[in-house]
Amino acid sequence: MFPAGPPSHSLLRLPLLQLLLLVVQAVGRGLGRASPAGGPLEDVVIERYHIPRACPREVQMGDFVRYHYNGTFEDGKKFDSSYDRNTLVAIVVGVGRLITGMDRGLMGMCVNERRRLIVPPHLGYGSIGLAGLIPPDATLYFDVVLLDVWNKEDTVQVSTLLRPPHCPRMVQDGDFVRYHYNGTLLDGTSFDTSYSKGGTYDTYVGSGWLIKGMDQGLLGMCPGERRKIIIPPFLAYGEKGYVIPPQASLVFHVLLIDVHNPKDAVQLETLELPPGCVRRAGAGDFMRYHYNGSLMDGTLFDSSYSRNHTYNTYIGQGYIIPGMDQGLQGACMGERRRITIPPHLAYGENGTGDKIPGSAVLIFNVHVIDFHNPADVVEIRTLSRPSETCNETTKLGDFVRYHYNCSLLDGTQLFTSHDYGAPQEATLGANKVIEGLDTGLQGMCVGERRQLIVPPHLAHGESGARGVPGSAVLLFEVELVSREDGLPTGYLFVWHKDPPANLFEDMDLNKDGEVPPEEFSTFIKAQVSEGKGRLMPGQDPEKTIGDMFQNQDRNQDGKITVDELKLKSDEDEERVHEEL
């Protein structure tokens, strides 16, 4: 640093145009020459031999600057250097703290600009010189590089480099933020970066945990936004510095990862709501849903789609993080919603695993597939009924034929009877179909169409079945094609009226005292064809008749005798007497 020259030399604040003229003069005169006429220099000669492409500001009178220099005489002999002291000059320009020639030579200079200055004696140390260092009437040569410039009137300078199209919220005082940064001095020298530390910088804003300039520079930022923040030293580390040089301006390139406030609640945004939502999920319901989970900057940390399987859980009962528990309640089947969860309702300060950092805001894009409650029953909605009067409806034991389409509640088709070219057949109450479908088919008229919503505990349960996911709610559209009265439990054949008085004699067609399978089959078929009795519906008549014969052939010798032949009603009565 150079002390001020003799008091007789007044300080001049040169306009930029005059400085440029001085440069032109310097080029015209040639460095090292006194003047075109060989006389003494009248002013500082400036050679701008390196000018940076970007120059956001130029040095003006009253600015505080930080610079390096080498000082030599005309013969090249060095008399001083800031490099030798390993200390920048840090001083205010244009207020008499420097020799007049240096004050003038620094005006209009840009950060990282390099200049050569020729300072005539009357703008340096004059006819007196500086004892032991600068002889009288010495012309001084300086090689200067400017590294920093600021003014006490400066404020934090913020430049938005990238702003995301969607900004759910902006940083306010009291918010907790997570951000990455690169910190440099004004000349580009790096002094710190969060990227090398393997994690974001996490802190509260406006609570005194940051330097004042950073507190100000972060305000109004959106998650995913990139900013350049220039902070003057009096809003940074001031005269003492901290790892960085004293009186240094700081430049931060900041990427905001996320922001939340300890008072934040779960934020819900409905992305798609299916029409006709008649039921919304509540605490205690069991839900199946797909999701993509990301951090606030868009980084994906988990997805149920990648596992090709829904996430299945009870809601409102503590099985999932509190924010998700809250965010899923009130949803409709088929709804898509975005759930933003602050860390105190997610994984807190510690995070979890290697994908969710501490204090992270989580965003879930959720598609609700279905939900049910363990207390749910089959929901039945009649789509159409035949115009004719319906005197008989289906009941337990009836044999029914019906067409059906079966799907999940998100519309995924599972099965349809139309693929088989024939109606499905079942005896109601015989445990041949899932319980919910059995229930939904009861009380129907032939020709009626119904929609059935069957909860999983009345369908295929938690394990599911081939083609049916576990815990899936099923949607059926059924149409009853026909119904037949069933037979009492345990009966394969019944008479419409009383059986023949001489049953064995009527059955023994050739009157040889025994009934082989052929005679038995012929007799039963005749009873059916004449309308005197009927076989169990829904089964192969030949098999049913064969089973009946086997039941009567007690000794399994291939024929029935009069002693073996007994009606089921007689067998049941004998069994009652045995129990008594």
* Res 315: pLDDT: 97
The overall average pLDDT reported for the chain is 89
Mean pLDDT of 347-356: 94
Of the pLDDT bands very low, low, confident and very high (cuts 50, 70, 90), residue 134 is very high
- Identify how many contiguous H helices and E strands the chain contains and give both numbers: 10, 26
* HSE-up of residue 479 (Cα within 13 Å, Cβ side): 11
CA distances (Å), 21 to each of 18, 41, 44, 554, in order? 5, 14, 11, 130
Question: Rounded to whole angstroms, how far apart are CA atoms 281 and 260?
Answer: 27
> In the structure, what pLDDT confidence band is assigned to residue 188 with cuts at 50, 70 and 90?
very high
Over 60: is that where the pLDDT of 9 sits?
no
pLDDT of residue 572: 64
335-342 average pLDDT score: 97
Q: Taking the CB of residue 269, how many other CB atoms lie within 10 A of it?
A: 12
Predicted pLDDT at 19: 35
Average pLDDT over residues 461-478: 94
What does the pLDDT average to over 45-50?
97
Residues with Cβ within 8 Å of residue 155, at least 6 apart in sequence: 216, 232
- Give the per-residue pLDDT at 77: 96
pLDDT of the residue at 501: 86
574: confidence class by pLDDT, cuts 50, 70, 90: low
Give the pLDDT band of residue 566 (cuts 50, 70, 90).
confident
- Band of residue 135 on the pLDDT scale cut at 50, 70, 90: very high
The CA angle 222-154-220, to the nearest 5 degrees, is 10
Per-residue pLDDT, averaged over 153-177, amounts to: 95
Is pLDDT above 80 for 484?
A: yes
H or E stretch covering 493: strand 493-495
Segment 18-32 mean pLDDT: 35
Residues 6+ apart with CB under 8 A from 55: 110, 111, 113
Catalytic sites, residue numbers: 69, 79-80, 99, 125, 142
Percent of the chain's residues with pLDDT above 70: 91
CB atoms under 10 Å from CB of 475, counted, come to 22
Question: Are 106 and 22 a contacting pair, CB within 8 Å?
Answer: no
pLDDT tens column, 413-429: 999 999 988 999 999 98
Q: What is the pLDDT of residue 579?
A: 45
Q: Tens of pLDDT along 85-96? A: 999 999 999 999
SS3 81: strand
